[in-house]
Amino acid sequence: MELSTTTLVLFILLAVSGIAQSIDIPIAKFGGVPNSDITQALTNAWREACGSATASKIVVPGGTYRMRAVDMRGPCKAPIELYVDGTIIAPPNPRDVGDEWQWVKVEYVDYFTLSGSGVFDGQGAMAWKNNDCGTNSNCARTPMNFGFNFVKNAVVRTVTSKDSKNFNVNVLGCQNFTFDGFKIAAPGNSINTDGIHMGRSKGVRILNTNISTGDDCISIGDGSVHTTIYNVRCGPGHGISVGSLGKYTTEAPVEGLVVKKVTFSNTDNGLRIKTWPSAPGTSPISNLHYEDITMINVRNPIIIDQEYCPWNQCNKQNPSKIRISNISFKNIRGTSLTKEGVNLICSSGAPCRQVKLGDIDLKFNGAPAVAVCRNVRPTVVGRAPPCVAA
């Protein structure tokens, strides 16, 4: 999808939603003033907006505010915009947030906009320090900054998610959802702070967005269909990942992903697809296309890993059952921190099909990086490193 087309979609969405004709609802009306806790004020403002038959715009002006968890739930009678210019701060202790899953939750809403120059600061340092989920399967839960659940026709633009305790954003069961000019800011040592994670969603678009975090910049879970990522900067972080998939038989297929004009800077991975070995899931991954990508000192620029097994939490006795097909990598350029700039480690039980490499120009210490391939025979169009058996 070209940017001009996507921009047109945004204009149409805003026009249809009627946000331009909305009625302002300042949170000050409910006692929400700077240097105060606005949990109840925002809850009351949402209740009024959701019950209004006229489109509404909840306004949080400049200033610093404290807030515990809020649940902005529909269905609502008319479109709603939440406009934030201030900085909203979560309690530093996860137990004080009030919801162990999501700090700012929007659910079952049709035509929703989140905009402004505001910052949602999750104050995640305490949570990162105490995160032992890599070794403890019963670790304590910590809340994400944003949860968008079963939301249709939504736009999130120009606001910032900062220092989330867990994932910055989770998109679940949504349709026609656009992030434009969004910013995610967290240090590289922030544990499990995926930028935007999505699952069971159709038509998610991530445009003109900068993401720095300690985990995947964007992670694409099962049931993600027709996803577009355009003009995104990622780093630090673990790249853009499809998966990990295959752990469960209930997973839905991932189909239709376009990633174009993305820059990765000092990330662990660039473009990654990962599935679990010795796992029961069989839902396929297909029709993924990556183009016009810049890699700057990326450890694994292009990687298909069907033996994904972090922290040795599984075994590799049996191959992944997930079929990966119709995947293309085109015009991928830059620098790799490893000699193996392309790793295509596919499953012996379900070898990758229809994988294309075109115009791949990755350098390691000034020399061309190599491609390592297993259980796949990629088609090469133009220049690309030849495959070396893994």
Task: Name the region of 246 (left: φ>0; alpha: ψ -120 to 50; beta: rest).
Answer: left
DSSP string, 297-328: EESEEEEEETT--GGG-S--SS-----EEEEE
Kind of pairing, strands 152-157 and 370-374?
A: unpaired
Q: What are phi and psi of 279, to 5 degrees?
A: -130, 155
Asked whether the bond before 236 is cis by omega within 30 degrees of 0, the reply is yes
Cβ atoms of residues 386 and 364 within 8 Å: no
- Measured CA to CA, the distance from residue 1 to residue 227 in angstroms comes to 10
Kind of pairing, strands 367-368 and 353-364?
A: antiparallel
DSSP string, 50-114: HH-SS-EEEEE-SSEEE---EEEE---SS-EEEEE-SEEE--SSGGGSS-SSEEEEEES-EEEEE
- Measured CA to CA, the distance from residue 356 to residue 138 in angstroms comes to 41
What distance, in Å, lies between the first and last C-alpha atoms of the chain? 35
- Measured CA to CA, the distance from residue 248 to residue 283 in angstroms comes to 9
Q: Which two tokens stand for residue 373?
A: 């391939």
- Measured CA to CA, the distance from residue 104 to residue 123 in angstroms comes to 14
Residue type, 313: Q
Q: Is 289 a catalytic residue?
A: no
Residue 18 CA, distance from chain mean position: 27
Cβ atoms of residues 154 and 79 within 8 Å: no
Report the length, in residues, of the chain: 390
* Locus of tokens 């990990």: 244
**Which residues are part of the catalytic machinery?**
238
